[in-house]
Amino acid sequence: MKFLSVILLGFILVASGCSTKVIREDVNKPIDLSGHWNDTDARLVAEEMIGACLSSPWVNQFNKATGRTPTIIVGSIKNNSYEHINPDVFIESLQRALTNSGRAIFVANKEERMDVREERADQLQGNTEPSTISEKGHETGADFMLKGSINAVQDSVKGKYVMFYQVNLTLIDMKTNQKLWLGQKEIKKQVLRPQASL
């Protein structure tokens, strides 16, 4: 009986050692596991590039000419790298940085506008209190569109590799198609791997 208890205890210890362990982390804490593009890169690049964009001369020129805050829409962000990068994460970071800056107004993209228009049309079906219906024809148009791309290059030798990312953003005047601002941010990461993991 004592021998059986020892075996059972040993089995429990081995089983508990194989269980999954989850550690909750601060979402702003940089964590690099693979060296590839991650959420920290998206957030830091977006904040820095939007800061540079909104501190360039075009903002004051627009304010002086129109007397109002510029309205921006984020267009496509192309992933030109070989990695599986979800551009939506970067776009959300751009939108957040734009909105929180207070220097520009951000408007919904094409897909979001379609959802809103469907809801607006549904309100006209007779089920909504008339005084609360959002009438069509009052959408805010964008003055500028922000488009861009994420590019990546990897250079490697045995035991280590370097990841190089280049993010390009362009601010385009919706009326004239003029490119009013061109931004570029580069990230370089060196990743060292133990020989056993190769």
- b/e 83-104 (16+ beta carbons within 10 angstroms → b): eebebebbbbbbbebbeebebb
Each residue of 27-66: pLDDT tens digit? Answer: 565 555 566 778 888 888 889 999 999 999 999 999 999 9
Higher-confidence residue: 18 or 198?
Answer: 18
The C-alpha atoms of residue 121 and residue 134 are separated, in whole angstroms, by 9
Give the mean pLDDT of 69-90: 88
Full-model pTM: 0.75
Predicted confidence at residue 147, as pLDDT, reads 94
Each residue of 135-193: pLDDT tens digit? Answer: 888 999 999 999 999 998 888 777 787 888 899 999 999 999 999 999 999 988 888 77
What residue ranges define each of the domains in the chain, with the CATH number in brackets?
A: 33-107+142-197 (3.40.50)
Q: To the nearest whole percent, how much of the chain has pLDDT over 90?
A: 38
Q: What does the mean pLDDT of the chain come to?
A: 83
Q: How far is CA 154 from CA 80, 85, 191, in A?
A: 13, 15, 11
Q: What are phi and psi of 76, to 5 degrees?
A: -80, 140
Predicted confidence at residue 122, as pLDDT, reads 93
